[in-house]
Amino acid sequence: MGCGDNKPVVIQQFYPFNKMTDTSYDNNQMRTLKEEYFLISNFKDNNSTILYIDSFVAKHVNADLIKFNTFRMYFFKESKLTNLIKIEENPRELDRYSNDHDLVFDYSWEEGKFQGRVRIKDGERIYPGQKKLKFTIQPVVSDSIQK
């Protein structure tokens, strides 16, 4: 094992687009969507990292999610092309590159109810995340995500 293999996993929220919420109409009814994006430094594909991310989600989901029909949290592993500098230079690279190569988790809620966690690898779902988590993800009242 090299020295760099023991670096701690760090999760940081980022804002790739000016607008993180969106609205649409479905059957003449307005629907709202909010998306949050996170970058994971020192990502390791192991159970310890997955539990760390689950714990992060459980601590940082807040009561605001009930305001939206759909609420999603996307987690990307940091890479040479998916990092804060590259995203700031060209946010569209998330769609063009990062979603297919560095997106690792998608957590979703509908009408305030947790729908699941999807594990993604190289742009493909490797497990649907509908299996029962070892804890319940409930919104917290405080907005304590570091920005």
Domain boundaries along the sequence of the chain: 8-127
pLDDT (0 to 100) of residue 145? 45
pLDDT (0 to 100) of residue 147? 41
pLDDT (0 to 100) of residue 22? 78
pTM value? 0.80
What is the spatial distance between Cα 23 and Cα 31, in angstroms, rounded to a whole number?
5
Helix/strand/coil for 99: helix
pLDDT (0 to 100) of residue 136? 54
pLDDT (0 to 100) of residue 120? 93
pLDDT in tens, 94-126: 888 999 999 999 999 999 999 999 999 988 888
Which residues are CB-contacts of 36 (< 8 A; sequence separation ≥ 6)?
A: 13, 20, 71, 72, 73, 74, 145
pLDDT along the chain (147 residues), means of 10: 72 85 78 92 94 94 86 95 94 90 95 91 76 52 45
pLDDT (0 to 100) of residue 50? 93
